[in-house]
Amino acid sequence: MRDARDAEDKRLLETGEIDLLLAGWVETIRGLCVAKMRGAVGEDVAQAVCERLWKELKAGKHRDGKHPFRVIVHSVIGWVCKGWYEPGWQESELFDLDGAAPDESDLVVIEVTLEQFVATLPPSDGAVAELYYLDGLEPGEIAERVDKNPNTVYQAISRNKKRLQEWLEA
Amino acid sequence: MRVELATLLDELARRHARGEPLDVEGLLAHAGDRSDELAPMIETFLVRAPRRTASAQTLAYVRALDDPPILRARVAKALRVDDVVDAIVAACTIQPDARPKVRRYYQQLEGGVLDPAPVAASVWDAISALLGRSRESLTVPHAGVPSASPMYRADRSFEPGDVPALAEKLVEPEPPDEVDALFLGESPKA
């Protein structure tokens, strides 16, 4: 499945702005690696992921657009995290740019997005969630934007907070 | 008091939306004994969340990926060379007058000129603690100094003693001291 994020990644790949492309993923890579590895070692893993992706991008890989770059990012994260503690793995496979790519069946396909979560909410709570979770506005700014009492916005945020957890647990 | 995972997830989502550092490690620490419950939800969120716009910090990080790892880690922490040198001198209880030598060795190590393999564990511990990185992630295999083919053949070797001005200044090399031992693995003089 394609999603809205892929279009910008594709544009950056086509224009050769690979530093901007990877920079947009750095925090996500760090966060995912720390969560997967359950702690600070995730920072080291994230560094290895970024180094691998950077080398591949510089070598011109992924420009064919066969897979969305986000799918490649998540696949490499999963692959590096899985092999991190295997002896010798980092020296042999990690930096072998000419070696085989991760198996196609390992590629992560993301079917659900945060935008879709927002779209499932009742209209008034959804409008608040969009401004709060997607645009990063403060409750006071949201109240002005949707022309609602700040207290009403806080109540919507509280309901959405529980819904977000349920959506992530599902 | 039981940690509210919904609040921690909300904090993650807000940081993400505002383009701030996510500090997942801090969130897991806040979750305490519920971190194993929280971690998969953080993973799910980050897989489903929109792509972020590159920040000045992440762009600088990517552009520095070609730099040696120690240099990159130091710059990421906004530390000066002297900060790292101070940490090494303190941790290894090196005499203050040997500090310039430590600085020279550290700069060679950071620049990838010095082979990291013989560097003492105590030096690595000091660097790792300050930079927040493991030794393994700070080192790359040492390629050694590239050798060049000789371009000329001399009839006989040049001896510094042949030049009077140089001969006067010739001194015996210093035997290895404790700083050499820490960075080169050589035995210090008795």
For B17, half-sphere exposure in the C-beta direction (CA atoms, 13 angstrom radius) is 18
Q: Which residues of A touch B53 (CB under 8 A)?
A: 24
Q: Which residues of A touch B50 (CB under 8 A)?
A: 4-5, 113-115, 134
For residues A91 and A129, membership in a common domain is answered with no
Nearest chain B residue to A9 by CA distance is B51
- Write the burial class of residue B71 (CB in 10 Å: 0-12 exposed, 13-18 middle, 19+ buried): middle
Q: How many CB atoms lie within 10 A of CB A118?
A: 22
Q: Which of A87, A106, A125 is the last residue of a domain?
A: A106
Give the contacts of A28 (CB within 8 A, at least 6 positions apart): A73, B46, B49, B51, B52
For residues A134 and A151, membership in a common domain is answered with yes
Q: What gap in Å lies between CA A123 and CA A31, rounded to an integer? A: 30
Alpha helices of chain B — where are they, by DSSP H?
5-18, 24-31, 35-48, 56-63, 69-76, 81-91, 99-110, 121-131, 135-138, 164-169, 178-184
Angle at A21 between CA B63 and CA A89, to 5 degrees: 70
Residue labelled with tokens 């990926």:
B65
For residues A121 and A55, membership in a common domain is answered with no
For residues A73 and A33, membership in a common domain is answered with yes
Give the contacts of A44 (CB within 8 A, at least 6 positions apart): B133, B134, B136, B137
Q: How many domains does chain A have?
A: 2
Q: What gap in Å lies between CA A78 and CA B160, rounded to an integer? A: 60
For residues A98 and A125, membership in a common domain is answered with no
Mean pLDDT lowest among A61-65, B153-157, B177-181, B182-186? B153-157
A108 touches chain B (CB under 8 A): yes
Q: Which of A106, A136, A155 is the last residue of a domain?
A: A106
Nearest chain B residue to A75 by CA distance is B47
For residues A89 and A118, membership in a common domain is answered with no
Q: What gap in Å lies between CA B185 and CA B176, rounded to an integer? A: 10
Nearest chain B residue to A71 by CA distance is B47
CATH of the domain at A158: 1.10.10
Mean pLDDT lowest among A79-88, B30-39, B125-134? A79-88
A54 touches chain B (CB under 8 A): yes
Contact at 8 Å (CB) between B48 and B63?
no
For residues A95 and A32, membership in a common domain is answered with yes
Q: What is the pTM of this model?
A: 0.68
Confidence (pLDDT) at A96: 44
For residues A73 and A15, membership in a common domain is answered with yes
Nearest-CA distance from A46 to chain B in Å?
10
Q: Which residues of A touch B9 (CB under 8 A)?
A: 161, 164-165, 168
For residues A79 and A150, membership in a common domain is answered with no
For B73, half-sphere exposure in the C-beta direction (CA atoms, 13 angstrom radius) is 25
pLDDT (mean) for A135-163: 93
Model confidence pLDDT, tens digit, residues B112-164? 888 899 999 999 999 999 998 888 878 765 444 444 444 555 555 556 566 66
Nearest chain A residue to B58 by CA distance is A23
CB-nearest to B43 from A9, A36, A44 is A36
Q: Which of A61, A81, A106 is the last residue of a domain?
A: A106
Its ipTM equals 0.81
Per the structure, the complete domain to which residue A141 belongs is given by 114-169
Decide if A27 and B22 are in contact by the 8 Å CB cutoff: yes
**Number of CB pairs < 8 Å for A and B?**
138
For residues A120 and A91, membership in a common domain is answered with no
Mean pLDDT lowest among A74-83, A123-132, B64-73, B92-101? B64-73
For residues A95 and A137, membership in a common domain is answered with no
Helices A26-37, A69-83: inter-axial angle, 10-degree rounding = 30
pLDDT (mean) for A26-34: 94
Confidence (pLDDT) at A14: 87
For residues A13 and A48, membership in a common domain is answered with yes
Decide if B28 and A4 are in contact by the 8 Å CB cutoff: no
**In Å, how far are A94, B41, B123 from A88, measured between CA atoms?**
10, 31, 25
